[in-house]
Amino acid sequence: MAGGAALLIIITRLLVRTEEVVRPYERTVVDYQFEWKCEQGHSFSASGQIEPRPCWTCSQPAYPVTKFTCSTHGTFDVSVRFAKVEDGSIKPVEYRPLGTKDWVPVAEGALCPRCKRVMERVNPEPLVPPKKREPRREERP
């Protein structure tokens, strides 16, 4: 009888036991250093945040900047606006090439200020391809 009770307790613990799920830390914009630029063209580095920062030189609103490229017209600096989305994460929501006035939703993509075609984002930290190893030359006596 005691053995059956002990077995019942062990089985109950195994069935009821829940393991705590440990989620890995996900970096957000506040974990990154961005280049910020204002409309006057002043730039500075600072950590990310949702709201615009006042420019350190002229106090005008400054936004984080990333680079996008147009296949025809080259690379452009593009301002980014971030916001909290439904799930609580912080995502880019609008783009605007520097020197233009209209913000464009991320769903439409960053538009080239010259031809209005969607541009591709330039990866700020591209992986460097590994160097090819030269085959070893065996020295013969």
- Per-residue pLDDT tens over the stretch 41-94: 899 999 888 899 999 999 999 999 999 999 999 999 999 999 988 888 888 999
pLDDT over 60 at 141, yes or no: no
> What residues contact 16, with CB distance under 8 A and at least 6 apart?
none
Q: Give the other-Cβ count within 10 Å of 38's Cβ.
A: 22
**Backbone φ and ψ of 129, nearest 5°:** -65, 145
The length of the chain, given as a count of residues: 141
Q: Write out the two tokens for 70.
A: 């147009």
Residues pairing with 104 in the sheet: 95
pLDDT recorded at residue 132: 60
CA 84 to chain centre: 14
pLDDT for position 123: 80
Backbone angles phi, psi at 64, to 5 degrees: -60, 145
β 33-38/43-47 pair status: antiparallel
- The continuous run of DSSP H or E covering 140 comes out as none
Q: Which two tokens stand for residue 76?
A: 């452009």
Report the distance separating Cα 4 and Cα 42, nearest Å: 77
